[in-house]
Homo-oligomer: A and B are copies of this chain.
């Protein structure tokens, strides 16, 4: 009689209203102490969307590195300046067909990104720095920098690869 009695899932409900797909919006300041708060939030968001642990870590790492870059580069290390993060359940088409996943959008009012500088160091050179963008690009399926109305925006999407649920796990 071993069996799963119930498995709460959160993916069905709000499929009609696109607004409801928003998980949350977070406004923080460019203070490195805020990073651990954001990491905790994003980790749970990934959990709520049923990302496997490894993918959740990848998403957390990407958001952390992207925010650190905003603090260090876009804001040149100045503290107390505003950063926004929006986090939503995403669904759409990728080259592999229909996909669902998580979309995270960061916005800041810092200096415009210089596209020619937006690359890390060659990975075979052993020196400090130049790793953040590598981490982000290796972790996320979509990474898009843009500038709109004097704001930098970074949009990241990670697809949720459906993992087959174990047999007999839908008890009721």
Contacts and interface: CB of A to CB of B under 8 A. Distances in A.
When all copies of this chain in the complex are counted, the total is 2
Interface string A77-110: 0011000000000000000000000000000000
Contact of A33 (B17, B48, B79): B48
A15 to B, nearest CB: 12
Which of A23, A28, A41 counts the most chain B CB atoms within 10 A? A41
A37 B44 contact: yes
A130 B139 CA distance: 45
A156 to B, nearest CB: 18
Contacts of A20: 29, 31, 79-80
Nearest to A46: B37
Which of A19, A37, A45 counts the most chain B CB atoms within 10 A? A37
A47 interface: yes
A54 B73 CA distance: 38
Interface of A: 10, 13-14, 17, 19-20, 22-29, 31, 33-34, 36-37, 39-41, 43-45, 47-48, 79-80
